[in-house]
Structure 1
Amino acid sequence: MSGSNVWSRSRERIRRFPELFAQCAGEAAAYGKCVSATTTSRQELRKDLCAKEFEALKTCFANAAKKGVK
């Protein structure tokens, strides 16, 4: 496997991120609100507090990536 091929694939994924993010704006907003609500007063975010919202966002990204956003 050549190094340049790995970097080309990585760059392509990074370029697609804004398009994928736009397709998952609702899920991203819900996750962000959950994180914000659970970290008020400088509390640390604890594992699994926003697991449901994160799973929804992760699923949305995976589905958007499978669709082959152009």
Structure 2
Amino acid sequence: MSGSNNVWSRNRERLRLFSEVFAQCADEAAAYGKCVAATTTGRQELKKDLCAREFQALKTCFTHAAKKRTK
């Protein structure tokens, strides 16, 4: 039982830090959200790679921000 408790502690810490990392990438997240919203007007589905540039920028920001937090 203590093994599963350790996993929960690690996951809880990652979730706690997510809001801090997300806050550092607010501009990239907003740009990605705007792109998704603009390309899915009405009942239109999001198509692959329409917002790839914005998604890549957000992913890169998350990766850099998370690395800063773990050091």
Normalising by structure 2, we get a TM-score of 0.87
AA matched with 1:58: K
State the partner residue of 2:24: 23
How big is the alpha-carbon RMSD for the aligned residues of Structure 1 and Structure 2?
1.2
AA matched with 1:12: E
AA matched with 1:50: C
AA matched with 1:39: T
Give unmatched runs, 5+ long, in structure 1.
none
State the partner residue of 1:64: 65
State the partner residue of 2:12: 11
Give unmatched runs, 5+ long, in structure 2.
none
1:20-69 deviations in Å (ceiling 9; x for gaps): 11100110000000000000122011111111111110110110011117
CA displacement at 1:9 relative to structure 2: 1.1
State the partner residue of 2:43: 42
In 2, the alpha carbon distance for the partners of 1:53 and 1:28 equals 8
| Structure 1 residue ranges, 4+ long, deviating more than 2 angstroms after superposition | none
In 2, the alpha carbon distance for the partners of 1:8 and 1:28 equals 27
In 2, the alpha carbon distance for the partners of 1:47 and 1:33 equals 16
Q: Which structure would you say has the larger Rg?
A: 2
